[in-house]
Amino acid sequence: MKITLSILKADVGSIGGHTKPSDRMLDSVRSDVAAAIGRGLLIDAYVGHTGDDICIIASHTRGENDTEVHQFAWTSFLNATAIATEYGLYGAGQDLLVDAPSGNIRGAGPAVAEIEFEHDPVKTNPIRPAESFMVLAADKCGPGAYNLPMFLGFADPMYCGGLMLPRVGEGFTFNIIDMDNTDGDSLISLNAPEDYYKITVLLRDNERFAIESIVSRYSGETAAAISATRMHNIAGTYTGKDDPVALVRNQGIFPAPEELISPYTKAHYIGGDARGSHVMPLMPVPINTAVTGMYCLPLVSCVGFSLNRDGKFSDSSADFFDNPAWDYVRQIAQEKGIAMRSQGWSGAAMLPYGELEYSGFRTSIGNLVDRFAIRNGKESSAIPEKAGTADD
């Protein structure tokens, strides 16, 4: 049977600022999910949050970009928005950028990642005798946040020893999207290991290029799908950071979980953080972690599931970052964050003006640039002898 895994995530309101959704909001989404399972739209589902983003993880048989599945998620987020509005929570409905999408909700604000595959979990299946997968959900960061760890996990044997083995060692195709192209999805496919350097040329720019999907060259099976969209390209102005999700299948013909999560020990620097305008480390955290620490560190959670023959999730999940081993990495992230934020507004501590996510920054610099005067050495200086005031 064909199974589709769908990940749909949105920030639709949070308590006391950008921290976490309320219990009532989460209960509302869980109730909507239970109803969708009851009427046969979904086979199974899980609801959790990373920072202030509510994430729905669902299995079904309706394929990718299914209107009914997407509309269910949209309605569920609207219901949570109504609760956020009732209780005066911050950013109610923030990620719902259009009034009423008529079909699937890609490009409407929520983060979406989906994979459809043939599901036949039997021992004699040479491709996937068992189906295991993991869901990464990030908050306070852009869609390029996964570029480095996904590349290392699928293309670098220093992190993925499985690449030295048959099947996995045949490599992977990276489908990379140019997020600055607003006319449509602008994609390029590059193969690892042959195109290793070419892939890095693109992925170094987290603000423009992002991995959209990764495909096994051995089997043609999709290994990973990532929500690679820019909110400011959808809304035309800043409404919040892009906060991507990633759906990653693991084991067998794909890298193992430990190979996929080991790159996150780097706590690598990405764009995001407070006001979406700083360069800060990505900190791995357990699922259902609120943003309440110093500054506004970008967060990423990682939850693993198994899938039975009927498409139902295992009776419990594995929280990959809820382990004492990751406390050390969180300490590194905090130290890197403090070091960077101690530099304040200067240089690399903040994103370039073209990437500052609040339009007010660009307005501020634009107003000052308009006041510059040219001094060419031939005419009398046009620079005023006395500086004007902010109101001049």
Per the annotation, the verdict on 238 as an active-site residue is: yes
C-alpha–C-alpha distance, residues 55 and 11, integer Å: 9
Nearest 5°: phi and psi at 134?
-135, 150
Task: Tell me, yes or no, if 241 is annotated catalytic.
Answer: yes
Beta strand 2-10 with 245-250 is unpaired
Which residue in the list 238, 242, 243, 269 is annotated as catalytic?
238
Are 5 and 79 within 8 A, CB to CB? Answer: no
- d(CA 388, CA 235) in angstroms, rounded, equals 36
**CA atoms 239, 54, 140, 199: torsion sign:** negative
Catalytic residue among 140, 241, 242, 269: 241
Which among 169, 197, 229 has a CA at the least distance from the CA of 9?
Answer: 229
Sequence-ordered list of residues with C-beta below 8 angstroms from that of 194, at least 6 positions apart, any chain: 171
Q: Are 151 and 262 in contact (CB under 8 A)?
A: no
Residue whose token pair is 């009532």: 24
Q: Of 372, 375, 367, 374, whose CA–CA distance to 391 is shortest?
A: 367
Q: In terms of DSSP H, where are the helices of the chain?
A: 23-38, 67-86, 147-155, 196-203, 231-235, 257-261, 325-341, 359-369
Q: How many CB atoms lie within 10 A of CB 30?
A: 17
Exactly one of 11, 32, 139, 273 is catalytic; which is it? 11
Q: Where in the sequence numbering do the catalytic residues fall?
A: 11, 238, 241
